Chain A
Amino acid sequence: MRVVIAEDSVLLREGLTRLLTDRGHEVVAGVGDAEALLKTITELHDEGALPDVVVADVRMPPTHTDEGVRAAVELRKEHPGLGVLVLSQYVEERYATELLAGSSRGVGYLLKDRVAEVREFVDAVVRVASGGTALDPEVVAQLLGRSRQQDVLAGLTPREREVLGLMAEGRTNSAVARQLVVSDGAVEKHVSNIFLKLGLSPSDGDHRRVLAVLTYLNS
């Protein structure tokens, strides 16, 4: 997997590079701000060597506000095949909505704290690189809490809510099953129940499923 990292703190950039290299991935470039990120990607694209995934910090120079999110949205528009994982000190449901606008293919939004769980973090990067979704549990919690469909959500059993949350984070059925220590079949049953209760048509692809869930929560 080929990765480009955009992070203004040198300390974290080096750490991420080491972490990913250690796991056998290739870090093509490391940049310090959004402008350099866009330039690097354009150059790589022109050389025909587009990376699989970009890992970008939200707050970067010069204004230290939401440069990372804006760059990510732009990258997703211009290079639909490129995975973008946004890292941040805080997660905001609003940024997630902006990132997911249109498609949930190859997009991730995680708290920086998640890098501490090295294996899970690298899994998330790989998932995003291969077109999957990785949403931070906190974002999902915010989405569930903010959703205007509270009365329908209240009709879910606690276990179904748990499954819905994990599904929204972008996990596959088998990953959900592993997490909850149940069988794949049990998860499938929960998922179809959830879709039934929310009035959504069940779909097979994981990212389409996520999109359906997120659209529902946001509506």
Chain B
Amino acid sequence: MATRYEHYEPYEPYESYGDGHDAEHEGPYGTYGSHGTYGTYGDHGGHGVRRRRLPAALCEPVSGRHWRELAYVLLGFPLSVTLFVFTVTMLSVGAGLLVTFLGIPVLAAGLAACRGFGALERARARGLLGLQVRDPEPLRVRGRDGRAGLLAWMGAVLKSGTSWRHALFVLVRFPWAVFSFCVTVTVWAFGWTMLTYPLWFWLFPMYGGQGGLQLYGDAHHQVYLDNPFEITVTASVGLLVTLATPWIVRALTTVDRLLVHGLLGPSRLASRVVELESDRGVVVDTAAADLRRIERDLHDGAQARLVALAMDLGLAKEKLREDPQAAARMVGEAHGEVKTALQELRDLARGIHPAVLTDRGLDAALSAVASRCTVPVRVEVDLGAARPVAAIEGIAYFTVSELLQNVSKHSGARAASVEVWRVDERLMVQVVDDGVGGAEVSGGSGLAGLAERLDAVDGVLVVDSPVGGPTRAVAELPWRA
């Protein structure tokens, strides 16, 4: 259950919808939010915070996080100057040489180096700023005959948008790194110097008439910070600046974070591709699993029955002359086998895809599923005349069918209900039973398979099943008409 918690929030709006939708279900809905598991969830944050003797703001200038950010900015300056000089040189030399063939390898080498710099910058941002940034999509080199030649590699580097984004990062980052470095060094040094002023003001040569820092001076007037009041004020200003420094540094590094995230991370398209690839994997896997299941069902069911039938008929054929009575009995048995085989084939075909689902939609198909459940099931489909696409209908049907099978097999329920309705562009399916509960969407269970299958079409399955019941499973699917 806990693994699916992140999907819980979006259901809140449907709670109220559900109440209006069916007053009978007020009981289960009411317990939904107040169930123990969820109730304690929000409290975890409170225990995690360590008690501090000083307010957090006062500790900030000496906190580890501040030092790491400081190190990031200080390191960033020399690094960024070096990278900038290198990149600008390579790119301009490369561009200049483009009239000859030499320009292309130089440009490619420069861009490849930028990708390397990017990796370094990501590592720095991860280590010092704690930034969660994934590596961008790797270079795809497509050479002739499957062999990646040097030319193919250069082409790939030059064509890849990631390479150019990395180069852009180095160029944009340079002025910012210089600016952050100057501001940080100035503010930090000024703050600490002023703060510690009372400790070292005596170093000024009093005997020369200079009793402290000179605030103002011209030919006639000199203002020195030398009396206790002035020293206190100076130290206070230093304190304020020191306390402000972490926030200034943080603000400066925030821009770095955005730059690293935006220019060095994977593009949004690439991220979506990764997501879709995993979804496609699930789809392929479930399709393969379905085929295996169908093969198994055929092998153990109808096929075995038909073999037995053939055997019976073979024996009967042999007996026909010598022992007609035994033969007649065997034919009778074979007749029974045929009828059972037909029943099994019908069930199997219906399990693959019921014809009535295509012809008449979910409402009609679900009544048939409900009638086969071992407990009385109330079905309510509130979709009007609208129908989602066949694939979504199929998955909704399959979901209800699986959930009701669970109800039959494991729940020990006395009654169950199935509801299907639509919220905006989502198809909602809910199966409730009053059984023993304790169902889990954990790895390996049937429910986990169902959740994966729903996930593959951007759907979600939430199961609320406290031990002792009742069990409530809600599936949410995209509508797609």
Contact = CB atoms under 8 A, between A and B. Distances in A.
B314 A11 contact: no
Contact of A9 (B300, B312, B313): B300
Contact of A112 (B307, B312, B315): B307
Contact of B315 (A18, A59, A89, A113): A18
> Which size bracket describes the interface of A in this complex?
10 to 19
A15 B308 contact: yes
Contacts of B308: 9, 11-12, 15
B67 to A, nearest CB: 58
A15 B299 contact: no
A85 B308 CA distance: 18
B299 A118 contact: no
A19 B317 CA distance: 12
Contact of A15 (B296, B303, B311): B311
B303 A116 contact: no
A19 to B, nearest CB: 6
A115 B303 CA distance: 13
Q: Tell me the interface secondary structure of chain A in the complex.
A: helix
Given A9-B304, A119-B318, A19 B296 contact: no
Contacts of A204: none
Contacts of B307: 12, 15, 89, 112-113, 115-116
Contacts of A115: 307, 310-311, 314
Given A22-B315, A89-B299, A116 B310 contact: yes
A116 B299 contact: no
B159 to A, nearest CB: 46
B108 to A, nearest CB: 49
B304 A117 contact: no
A94 interface: no
Contacts of A89: 299, 303-304, 307
Interface in A52-96: 59, 64, 89
Nearest to A87: B307
A19 B311 contact: yes
B305 interface: yes
A116 B296 CA distance: 22
A113 B307 CA distance: 6
A15 B310 CA distance: 10
Nearest to A115: B311
Pick the most buried of B303, B311, B312: most chain A CB atoms within 10 A of its CB.
Answer: B311
B259 to A, nearest CB: 54
A115 B313 CA distance: 10
Interface string A118-153: 110100000000000000000000000000000000
Contacts of A121: 314
Interface string B466-481: 0000000000000000
B315 A11 contact: no
Interface in B275-331: 296, 299-300, 303-305, 307-308, 310-315, 317-318
B296 A64 contact: yes
Contacts of B304: 9, 11-12, 89
A118 B318 contact: yes
Contacts of A113: 307, 310
Contact of A116 (B300, B305, B311): B311
A176 B79 CA distance: 88
A111 to B, nearest CB: 9
Given A112-B307, A113-B310, A19 B300 contact: no
B456 to A, nearest CB: 26
Contacts of A59: 299
Nearest to B316: A118
Interface string B392-423: 00000000000000000000000000000000
Nearest to B333: A15
Nearest to A120: B314
Nearest to B318: A118
Nearest to B330: A18
Pick the most buried of A12, A15, A22: most chain B CB atoms within 10 A of its CB.
Answer: A15
Nearest to B319: A22
A66 to B, nearest CB: 13
Interface of B: 296, 299-300, 303-305, 307-308, 310-315, 317-318
8 contacts: A9-B308, A11-B308, A15-B307, A18-B315, A113-B310, A116-B307, A116-B311, A119-B318
Given A18-B315, A121-B314, 6 more contacts: A89-B304, A113-B310, A115-B314, A116-B311, A118-B311, A118-B314
Closest 6 CB pairs of A and B: A116-B310, A118-B314, A116-B314, A15-B311, A9-B304, A112-B307
